[in-house]
Amino acid sequence: MRQSELDVGDVGQVARTGAVPPGRDIDELVAAAHARGLRHAEGTVADYIPILAQVDPELFGLCVVDVDGGVHEVGDTGARFSIQSISKAFVYALLCDALGHEEVFDVVGVNNTGAAFNSVVAIELNEGHPGNPMVNAGAIATTALMPSATAEEKWEAVRNGLSRFAGRGLEVDDDVYRSESLTNQRNRAIAQLLESYGRIRSDPAEAVDVYTRQCSLLVDAHDLAVMGATLADGGVNPVTGERVVSADVCRDTLAVLAASGLYERSGEWLFEIGLPGKSGVAGGLVTVAPGKAGIGAYAPRLDSAGNSVRGQIGTAYLSRALGLNIFASEPH
Protein backbone atom coordinates (compact mmCIF):
# COMPACT_ATOMS: atom_id res chain seq x y z
CA MET A 1 0.00 0.00 0.00
CA ARG A 2 1.26 3.48 -0.88
CA GLN A 3 1.53 6.21 1.75
CA SER A 4 -1.64 7.84 0.42
CA GLU A 5 -3.50 4.61 1.19
CA LEU A 6 -1.98 4.10 4.65
CA ASP A 7 -4.00 6.89 6.31
CA VAL A 8 -1.00 8.43 8.12
CA GLY A 9 -1.07 11.90 6.62
CA ASP A 10 -1.17 13.70 9.98
CA VAL A 11 1.43 11.51 11.68
CA GLY A 12 4.90 13.04 11.49
CA GLN A 13 7.90 10.79 10.97
CA VAL A 14 9.86 10.58 14.24
CA ALA A 15 13.56 9.65 14.21
CA ARG A 16 14.56 7.81 17.37
CA THR A 17 17.71 5.71 17.78
CA GLY A 18 17.34 4.65 21.41
CA ALA A 19 14.70 2.63 23.21
CA VAL A 20 10.98 2.94 22.60
CA PRO A 21 9.08 5.58 24.63
CA PRO A 22 7.63 4.87 28.11
CA GLY A 23 4.89 2.24 28.33
CA ARG A 24 2.01 4.66 28.82
CA ASP A 25 2.94 6.50 25.64
CA ILE A 26 3.05 3.21 23.72
CA ASP A 27 -0.38 2.25 25.05
CA GLU A 28 -1.86 5.50 23.78
CA LEU A 29 -0.22 5.18 20.38
CA VAL A 30 -1.30 1.54 19.94
CA ALA A 31 -4.88 2.61 20.72
CA ALA A 32 -4.61 5.43 18.17
CA ALA A 33 -3.16 3.09 15.54
CA HIS A 34 -5.97 0.60 16.15
CA ALA A 35 -8.60 3.34 15.82
CA ARG A 36 -6.98 4.46 12.57
CA GLY A 37 -7.19 0.94 11.15
CA LEU A 38 -10.84 0.55 12.14
CA ARG A 39 -11.74 3.37 9.75
CA HIS A 40 -10.97 1.06 6.83
CA ALA A 41 -12.99 -1.79 5.36
CA GLU A 42 -11.08 -2.26 2.11
CA GLY A 43 -9.86 -5.65 1.00
CA THR A 44 -11.31 -9.15 1.06
CA VAL A 45 -10.70 -12.26 3.13
CA ALA A 46 -8.76 -15.10 1.50
CA ASP A 47 -11.08 -17.62 -0.13
CA TYR A 48 -8.75 -19.89 -2.12
CA ILE A 49 -8.40 -21.89 1.10
CA PRO A 50 -12.12 -22.51 1.77
CA ILE A 51 -12.02 -22.43 5.57
CA LEU A 52 -10.32 -19.01 5.63
CA ALA A 53 -13.32 -17.51 3.86
CA GLN A 54 -15.47 -18.24 6.94
CA VAL A 55 -13.66 -15.80 9.27
CA ASP A 56 -15.27 -12.64 10.65
CA PRO A 57 -13.82 -9.83 8.47
CA GLU A 58 -14.27 -7.22 11.24
CA LEU A 59 -11.70 -8.75 13.61
CA PHE A 60 -8.73 -6.48 14.30
CA GLY A 61 -6.09 -6.85 16.98
CA LEU A 62 -2.85 -4.88 17.38
CA CYS A 63 -0.07 -5.64 19.86
CA VAL A 64 3.40 -4.29 20.60
CA VAL A 65 5.87 -6.25 22.75
CA ASP A 66 9.08 -4.37 23.54
CA VAL A 67 12.45 -5.99 24.19
CA ASP A 68 11.99 -5.48 27.94
CA GLY A 69 8.90 -7.69 27.82
CA GLY A 70 6.33 -4.89 28.06
CA VAL A 71 3.02 -5.74 26.36
CA HIS A 72 0.77 -3.10 24.80
CA GLU A 73 -2.33 -4.35 22.99
CA VAL A 74 -5.76 -3.25 21.78
CA GLY A 75 -8.64 -5.05 20.10
CA ASP A 76 -8.96 -8.70 19.14
CA THR A 77 -5.44 -9.72 20.14
CA GLY A 78 -6.64 -13.05 21.55
CA ALA A 79 -8.47 -14.11 18.37
CA ARG A 80 -6.62 -17.13 17.00
CA PHE A 81 -5.88 -17.75 13.35
CA SER A 82 -3.52 -19.89 11.31
CA ILE A 83 0.00 -18.50 11.04
CA GLN A 84 0.29 -19.32 7.31
CA SER A 85 3.29 -17.74 5.55
CA ILE A 86 4.48 -15.92 8.66
CA SER A 87 5.85 -19.31 9.71
CA LYS A 88 8.37 -19.06 6.86
CA ALA A 89 10.40 -16.42 8.68
CA PHE A 90 10.75 -18.39 11.88
CA VAL A 91 11.43 -21.78 10.29
CA TYR A 92 14.11 -20.05 8.22
CA ALA A 93 15.65 -18.72 11.45
CA LEU A 94 15.59 -22.19 12.98
CA LEU A 95 17.27 -23.67 9.90
CA CYS A 96 19.98 -20.98 9.84
CA ASP A 97 20.63 -21.68 13.52
CA ALA A 98 20.96 -25.41 12.79
CA LEU A 99 22.96 -25.37 9.53
CA GLY A 100 24.65 -21.98 9.38
CA HIS A 101 24.68 -18.93 7.16
CA GLU A 102 26.49 -20.28 4.09
CA GLU A 103 24.72 -23.61 3.58
CA VAL A 104 21.24 -22.10 3.82
CA PHE A 105 22.25 -19.19 1.57
CA ASP A 106 23.49 -21.56 -1.14
CA VAL A 107 20.39 -23.75 -1.22
CA VAL A 108 17.56 -21.31 -0.52
CA GLY A 109 18.89 -17.87 -1.55
CA VAL A 110 17.88 -14.38 -0.48
CA ASN A 111 16.90 -12.43 -3.62
CA ASN A 112 13.38 -11.13 -4.20
CA THR A 113 11.84 -12.97 -7.16
CA GLY A 114 9.53 -10.08 -8.08
CA ALA A 115 6.85 -12.69 -8.73
CA ALA A 116 3.83 -13.98 -6.81
CA PHE A 117 4.48 -16.06 -3.69
CA ASN A 118 3.40 -19.31 -5.43
CA SER A 119 5.07 -18.69 -8.80
CA VAL A 120 6.36 -21.69 -10.73
CA VAL A 121 7.81 -19.54 -13.52
CA ALA A 122 10.23 -17.87 -11.07
CA ILE A 123 11.77 -21.28 -10.31
CA GLU A 124 12.28 -22.11 -13.96
CA LEU A 125 13.74 -18.69 -14.76
CA ASN A 126 16.31 -19.19 -11.98
CA GLU A 127 17.31 -22.69 -13.12
CA GLY A 128 15.55 -24.38 -10.24
CA HIS A 129 16.75 -22.05 -7.48
CA PRO A 130 13.94 -21.17 -5.04
CA GLY A 131 15.02 -17.52 -4.85
CA ASN A 132 14.34 -16.76 -1.19
CA PRO A 133 12.69 -18.40 1.83
CA MET A 134 9.64 -16.11 1.86
CA VAL A 135 8.09 -17.48 -1.35
CA ASN A 136 6.52 -20.94 -1.29
CA ALA A 137 9.33 -22.63 -3.21
CA GLY A 138 11.96 -21.33 -0.80
CA ALA A 139 9.82 -22.09 2.23
CA ILE A 140 9.22 -25.70 1.14
CA ALA A 141 12.96 -26.10 0.53
CA THR A 142 13.66 -24.58 3.95
CA THR A 143 11.28 -26.98 5.69
CA ALA A 144 12.72 -29.93 3.76
CA LEU A 145 16.23 -28.99 4.95
CA MET A 146 15.35 -29.06 8.65
CA PRO A 147 17.68 -31.72 10.09
CA SER A 148 15.86 -34.87 11.19
CA ALA A 149 15.68 -38.59 10.52
CA THR A 150 11.95 -38.71 9.77
CA ALA A 151 9.17 -36.40 8.63
CA GLU A 152 7.58 -36.62 12.08
CA GLU A 153 10.81 -35.56 13.77
CA LYS A 154 11.08 -32.69 11.29
CA TRP A 155 7.54 -31.60 12.16
CA GLU A 156 8.23 -31.71 15.90
CA ALA A 157 11.39 -29.63 15.43
CA VAL A 158 9.35 -27.02 13.53
CA ARG A 159 6.47 -26.96 16.00
CA ASN A 160 8.72 -26.84 19.06
CA GLY A 161 10.89 -24.13 17.53
CA LEU A 162 7.96 -21.86 16.68
CA SER A 163 6.50 -22.50 20.14
CA ARG A 164 9.73 -21.26 21.70
CA PHE A 165 9.52 -18.10 19.63
CA ALA A 166 5.95 -17.56 20.85
CA GLY A 167 6.71 -18.47 24.45
CA ARG A 168 3.94 -21.07 24.63
CA GLY A 169 3.02 -24.38 23.02
CA LEU A 170 1.44 -23.92 19.58
CA GLU A 171 -1.07 -26.39 18.17
CA VAL A 172 -2.37 -27.12 14.68
CA ASP A 173 -5.84 -26.10 13.56
CA ASP A 174 -6.92 -29.46 12.15
CA ASP A 175 -9.69 -27.93 10.06
CA VAL A 176 -7.26 -25.55 8.35
CA TYR A 177 -4.74 -28.36 7.85
CA ARG A 178 -7.34 -30.57 6.17
CA SER A 179 -8.65 -27.70 4.06
CA GLU A 180 -5.18 -26.74 2.87
CA SER A 181 -4.19 -30.35 2.23
CA LEU A 182 -7.10 -30.66 -0.20
CA THR A 183 -6.14 -27.49 -2.09
CA ASN A 184 -2.30 -27.52 -2.10
CA GLN A 185 -1.78 -29.08 -5.54
CA ARG A 186 0.37 -26.13 -6.61
CA ASN A 187 2.70 -26.55 -3.64
CA ARG A 188 3.01 -30.25 -4.43
CA ALA A 189 3.94 -29.37 -8.00
CA ILE A 190 6.49 -26.83 -6.77
CA ALA A 191 8.07 -29.45 -4.49
CA GLN A 192 8.35 -31.96 -7.33
CA LEU A 193 9.93 -29.31 -9.55
CA LEU A 194 12.44 -28.48 -6.82
CA GLU A 195 13.23 -32.19 -6.46
CA SER A 196 13.90 -32.42 -10.21
CA TYR A 197 16.51 -29.67 -9.81
CA GLY A 198 18.08 -31.33 -6.76
CA ARG A 199 16.95 -28.62 -4.34
CA ILE A 200 14.93 -31.11 -2.28
CA ARG A 201 16.60 -34.39 -1.46
CA SER A 202 13.91 -35.82 0.82
CA ASP A 203 10.41 -36.98 -0.16
CA PRO A 204 8.75 -33.89 -1.70
CA ALA A 205 5.28 -35.01 -0.59
CA GLU A 206 6.47 -35.27 3.01
CA ALA A 207 8.08 -31.82 2.79
CA VAL A 208 4.81 -30.30 1.58
CA ASP A 209 2.87 -32.05 4.33
CA VAL A 210 5.15 -30.67 7.06
CA TYR A 211 5.01 -27.24 5.43
CA THR A 212 1.19 -27.39 5.33
CA ARG A 213 1.08 -28.32 9.01
CA GLN A 214 3.42 -25.47 9.98
CA CYS A 215 1.17 -23.00 8.12
CA SER A 216 -1.81 -24.37 10.08
CA LEU A 217 -0.39 -23.59 13.53
CA LEU A 218 -2.73 -21.39 15.58
CA VAL A 219 -1.44 -18.03 16.84
CA ASP A 220 -2.88 -14.65 17.81
CA ALA A 221 -1.63 -11.08 17.45
CA HIS A 222 -0.01 -11.24 20.90
CA ASP A 223 1.95 -14.35 19.87
CA LEU A 224 3.18 -12.62 16.71
CA ALA A 225 4.36 -9.61 18.71
CA VAL A 226 6.31 -11.89 21.09
CA MET A 227 7.81 -13.78 18.13
CA GLY A 228 8.79 -10.50 16.49
CA ALA A 229 10.24 -9.16 19.72
CA THR A 230 12.41 -12.30 19.98
CA LEU A 231 13.97 -11.44 16.61
CA ALA A 232 14.25 -7.81 17.75
CA ASP A 233 16.10 -8.83 20.93
CA GLY A 234 18.90 -10.82 19.32
CA GLY A 235 17.11 -14.17 19.56
CA VAL A 236 16.11 -14.01 23.23
CA ASN A 237 12.39 -14.24 23.95
CA PRO A 238 11.79 -11.14 26.11
CA VAL A 239 8.83 -12.74 27.88
CA THR A 240 10.32 -16.15 28.78
CA GLY A 241 13.99 -15.11 28.81
CA GLU A 242 14.90 -18.16 26.68
CA ARG A 243 17.45 -17.87 23.88
CA VAL A 244 15.79 -19.32 20.80
CA VAL A 245 18.35 -18.51 18.07
CA SER A 246 21.59 -16.57 17.86
CA ALA A 247 21.88 -12.84 17.24
CA ASP A 248 23.59 -13.54 13.90
CA VAL A 249 20.59 -15.61 12.81
CA CYS A 250 18.27 -12.74 13.73
CA ARG A 251 20.33 -10.38 11.59
CA ASP A 252 20.15 -12.73 8.59
CA THR A 253 16.42 -13.35 9.03
CA LEU A 254 15.56 -9.66 9.30
CA ALA A 255 17.61 -8.89 6.18
CA VAL A 256 15.59 -11.45 4.21
CA LEU A 257 12.32 -10.10 5.61
CA ALA A 258 13.26 -6.56 4.63
CA ALA A 259 13.86 -7.70 1.05
CA SER A 260 10.99 -10.14 0.56
CA GLY A 261 8.64 -10.29 3.54
CA LEU A 262 5.59 -8.80 1.81
CA TYR A 263 6.00 -10.57 -1.52
CA GLU A 264 5.88 -8.36 -4.61
CA ARG A 265 4.93 -5.37 -2.42
CA SER A 266 8.10 -5.67 -0.33
CA GLY A 267 9.74 -2.64 -1.90
CA GLU A 268 6.72 -0.44 -1.26
CA TRP A 269 6.45 -1.73 2.31
CA LEU A 270 10.09 -0.96 3.06
CA PHE A 271 9.80 2.45 1.42
CA GLU A 272 6.69 3.44 3.39
CA ILE A 273 7.13 1.61 6.74
CA GLY A 274 10.90 1.07 6.89
CA LEU A 275 10.88 -2.16 8.92
CA PRO A 276 11.32 -5.90 8.28
CA GLY A 277 7.93 -7.63 8.25
CA LYS A 278 6.05 -10.75 7.19
CA SER A 279 2.43 -11.27 6.26
CA GLY A 280 0.16 -14.30 6.06
CA VAL A 281 -3.04 -14.83 4.07
CA ALA A 282 -5.11 -15.53 7.20
CA GLY A 283 -4.64 -11.83 8.04
CA GLY A 284 -1.64 -11.94 10.35
CA LEU A 285 1.26 -9.48 10.10
CA VAL A 286 4.45 -9.42 12.15
CA THR A 287 6.86 -6.48 12.05
CA VAL A 288 10.23 -6.14 13.78
CA ALA A 289 11.99 -3.00 14.99
CA PRO A 290 15.52 -4.31 15.73
CA GLY A 291 16.61 -3.65 19.29
CA LYS A 292 13.21 -2.16 20.15
CA ALA A 293 10.03 -4.20 19.69
CA GLY A 294 7.88 -6.62 17.75
CA ILE A 295 4.47 -5.65 16.38
CA GLY A 296 1.75 -8.24 15.83
CA ALA A 297 -1.43 -7.47 13.92
CA TYR A 298 -4.44 -9.49 12.87
CA ALA A 299 -7.13 -8.31 10.46
CA PRO A 300 -8.32 -10.75 7.80
CA ARG A 301 -9.18 -8.34 4.97
CA LEU A 302 -6.29 -8.50 2.49
CA ASP A 303 -5.01 -6.37 -0.37
CA SER A 304 -4.40 -7.88 -3.81
CA ALA A 305 -0.96 -9.18 -2.77
CA GLY A 306 -2.33 -11.04 0.28
CA ASN A 307 -1.31 -8.54 2.98
CA SER A 308 -3.62 -7.39 5.80
CA VAL A 309 -5.03 -3.93 5.03
CA ARG A 310 -5.78 -2.84 8.60
CA GLY A 311 -2.56 -4.46 9.79
CA GLN A 312 -0.52 -2.37 7.37
CA ILE A 313 -2.33 0.83 8.36
CA GLY A 314 -1.87 0.24 12.10
CA THR A 315 1.78 -0.74 11.67
CA ALA A 316 2.54 2.26 9.46
CA TYR A 317 1.10 4.57 12.13
CA LEU A 318 3.24 2.96 14.84
CA SER A 319 6.39 3.05 12.72
CA ARG A 320 6.04 6.81 12.37
CA ALA A 321 4.70 7.66 15.82
CA LEU A 322 7.16 5.47 17.75
CA GLY A 323 10.16 6.38 15.60
CA LEU A 324 10.82 2.82 14.44
CA ASN A 325 11.77 3.32 10.78
CA ILE A 326 15.30 1.94 10.46
CA PHE A 327 16.13 4.44 7.72
CA ALA A 328 15.01 7.58 9.57
CA SER A 329 17.62 9.91 11.06
CA GLU A 330 18.07 13.52 12.07
CA PRO A 331 20.91 15.88 11.09
CA HIS A 332 24.02 15.40 13.17
Of 78, 107, 99, 113, the residue nearest 218 (C-alpha): 78
**Active-site choice (11, 74, 88, 288):** 88
The answer to whether 154 is a known catalytic residue is no
The answer to whether 88 is a known catalytic residue is yes
H or E element that contains 298: strand 293-298
**Active-site choice (219, 281, 288, 309):** 281
Which residues define the annotated binding site for substrate? 85, 136, 180, 187, 211, 263, 281
d(CA 106, CA 108): 6
Which residues define the annotated binding site? 85, 136, 180, 187, 211, 263, 281
CB 214 within 8 A of CB 53: no
**Active-site choice (92, 263, 298, 317):** 263
Strands 71-75 and 81-82: unpaired
Residue 223 CB neighbours (<10 A): 30
Q: Which whole-number Å values give the CA distances from 240 to 184, 268, 323, in the listed order?
A: 35, 34, 26
**Active-site choice (92, 211, 298, 317):** 211
CB 91 within 8 A of CB 143: yes
**Active-site choice (8, 55, 85, 292):** 85
Of 292, 291, 286, 282, the residue nearest 312 (C-alpha): 286
d(CA 285, CA 221): 8
Reported as half-sphere exposure (CB side, CA atoms, 13 A), residue 296 has a value of 31
The answer to whether 121 is a known catalytic residue is no
The answer to whether 263 is a known catalytic residue is yes
Largest separation between any pair of C-alpha atoms in the chain? 57
- Residues serving a catalytic function are 85, 88, 211, 263, 281
